[in-house]
Every structure is written in C-alpha cells, then in structure tokens.
C-alpha cells in the first residue's frame, strides 16, 4: 500500500485514511471458503477455455488460498474488513482526470480491484477523510 501513500508521481496533495473492522474467525473462515470456492471455479473455467492471463487472476486466487490457511482453526487469527479513503486536491479539471486515472492505476498495482468514487456523495466523502469522522457509520 506504500505506492498508494507515496507513489503518486508527480506529487499531488492527497491523504489516505484506513478503516479496519475485525471479523470473528468463524465468519471469516466461512467467507474465505466461499471466496476460495469461487476462485477455484474461475480457475477451472479459465483453464477449460484455454484463457491466457497476465497473472493477476492467479495472484488474487492464491491470496484466497493463503487467507484460508491463515484462518485455520487454532491459528488464533481473525478476519478483517477494511476500506481505504483517498482524497486529493488539484487545480483544474484536467488534473482531476489525470490524477484520478493515476490513483486507479496505483490501486490496481496494490491489488485493489474496485474503487468507488464518492464524487456525487460529497457528504460521505468529506466525513471519510475528516480525522473525527472515520469512525462514523451511516
């Protein structure tokens, strides 16, 4: 995640906030098994279609296998749901588009495959980046 914090080049004023919620081990194991099953089915489907990959799917698929191993009974590990909020400031619409694309690219390099832009939800966006607002749930 270091790239998301300091890998935006050229530099732009931005902040990154993290929210983590610990999940009970039993619930986390159930989700890990569901994800592992979906990933295995996708691997099988891709192999039967002789689909060529750039390796991204394999890395993501292997992460679900590793998560299942990490959450084995007796390991003492629990799951976590997390979210990251990125805010940035630019001077023009052209810079906004350039920086948005750049942040999407850096997030993809970090293994983040979905970004939800809050550009039409300024109330949520503002609360997500304020120091006291990160703990508020809507």
Q: Which phi-psi region, left, alpha or beta, contains residue 51 (left: φ > 0; alpha: ψ -120 to 50)?
A: beta
pLDDT tens-digit readout, 101-131: 888 888 888 778 788 888 788 777 777 667 6
Evaluate the CA torsion angle 31, 33, 37, 40 in order and state its sign: positive
- Burial category of 136 from C-beta neighbours within 10 Å (exposed 0-12, middle 13-18, buried 19 and up): exposed
Please provide the distance, in angstroms rounded to a whole number, between the alpha carbons at the two ends of the chain. 26
pLDDT tens, position by position, 49-97: 887 777 777 776 677 788 888 888 888 888 888 888 888 878 888 988 8
């Amino acid at each position: 995640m270091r790239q998301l914090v300091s890998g935006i080049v050229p530099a732009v004023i931005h902040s990154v906030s993290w929210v983590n919620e610990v999940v009970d081990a039993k619930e986390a194991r159930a989700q890990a098994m569901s994800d592992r099953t979906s990933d295995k089915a996708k691997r099988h489907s891709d192999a039967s279609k002789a689909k060529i990959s750039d390796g991204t799917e394999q890395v993501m698929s292997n992460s679900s296998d590793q998560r299942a191993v990490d959450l084995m009974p007796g390991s003492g590990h629990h799951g976590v749901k997390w979210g990251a909020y990125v805010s940035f400031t630019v001077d023009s619409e052209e810079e906004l588009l350039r920086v948005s694309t750049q942040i999407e690219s850096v997030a993809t390099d970090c293994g983040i495959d979905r970004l939800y832009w809050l550009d039409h939800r300024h109330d949520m966006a503002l609360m997500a980046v304020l120091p006291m607002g990160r703990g508020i749930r809507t």
